[in-house]
């Protein structure tokens, strides 16, 4: 049986990952659309910035978040003074850190799915009198939906396992920011915590494998939809 600490860490991790993916999804769709369908000055720079969390150490990303969204930062300070919202050392800050770290994965999956959509289908719909919004909702979105699902699943798994950015930005506060990875770290530093750490590692493994399997199923649906188109 899991202890109260382990259950809390699991519940918090699922909540943080869900909030992170849900809140970042609309922005990810917009950025993926820009990168896949538009040509504009600075496109290469935008692409590099989007993928920066994949190449920078997570601790560096967490430090940037601390500088920007901390109570002394330009955005975090304004939120705290104007709206009374504090992100640092809170689960919402943990969700922000997870969202930033997983954002490139969502964008990349959606972009690949969007690039696989035959633009001729969209052009045909336009010639039949459909508006751009109608074309997106009735033609483009259904064809790229499996890619969106795949990206969200992979990003959800990545958000569950974030460590460096989370602990740097919001710390390791039990019951508030202590997600699965942080709980595992704490247990490995605790006498007689090996058994509990192993249980959480196994839970993390099951969640990760399940997410990757679900992502592969979604990717197969992308290829099937493109083939039918």
What domains can be seen in the chain, in order of their start residue? Answer: 4-228 (1.10.3720.10)
**pLDDT the model gives residue 102:** 94
pLDDT of residue 154: 86
More confident: 118 or 155 = 155
Question: pLDDT tens-digit profile of 153-175?
Answer: 889 988 988 999 999 999 999 88
Q: Does the pLDDT of residue 229 top 60, yes or no?
A: no
pLDDT on residue 39: 87
Q: Residue 219 in contact with residue 146, Cβ under 8 Å?
A: yes
Q: pLDDT digit string (tens) for 131-152?
A: 777 887 777 887 888 788 888 8
**Using CA atoms, how far apart are residues 108 and 69, in angstroms rounded to an integer?**
25
* pLDDT at residue number 38: 84
Q: Give CA angle at 99 (54, 85), nearest 5°.
A: 135
- Residue pair 193/183 in contact (Cβ under 8 Å)? The answer is no
Statement: residue 225 has pLDDT above 90: no
pLDDT of residue 31: 94
User: Which pLDDT score is estimated for 108?
Assistant: 92
> Higher pLDDT residue, 130 or 68?
68
């Amino acid at each position: 049986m899991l202890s109260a600490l382990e259950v809390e860490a699991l519940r918090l991790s699922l909540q943080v990952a869900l909030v992170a993916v849900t809140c970042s999804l609309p922005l990810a769709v917009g950025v993926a659309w820009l990168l896949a369908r538009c040509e504009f000055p600075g496109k290469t720079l935008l692409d590099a910035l989007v993928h920066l969390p994949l190449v920078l150490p997570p601790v560096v990303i967490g430090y940037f978040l601390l500088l920007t969204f901390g109570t002394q930062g330009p955005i975090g300070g304004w939120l705290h003074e104007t709206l009374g919202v504090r992100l640092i050392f809170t689960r919402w800050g943990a969700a922000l850190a997870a969202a930033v770290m997983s954002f490139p994965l969502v964008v990349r999956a959606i972009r690949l799915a969007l690039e696989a959509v035959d633009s001729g289908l969209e052009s045909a719909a336009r010639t039949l009198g459909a508006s751009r919004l109608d074309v997106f909702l009735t033609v483009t979105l259904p064809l790229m939906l499996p890619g969106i699902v795949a990206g969200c699943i992979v990003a959800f798994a990545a958000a569950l396992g974030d460590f460096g950015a989370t602990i740097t930005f919001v710390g390791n506060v039990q019951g508030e920011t202590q997600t699965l990875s942080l709980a595992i770290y704490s247990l490995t530093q605790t006498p007689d915590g090996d058994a509990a750490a192993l249980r959480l590692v196994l839970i993390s493994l099951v969640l990760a494998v399940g997410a990757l399997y679900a992502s592969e199923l979604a990717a197969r649906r992308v290829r099937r939809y493109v083939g039918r188109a």
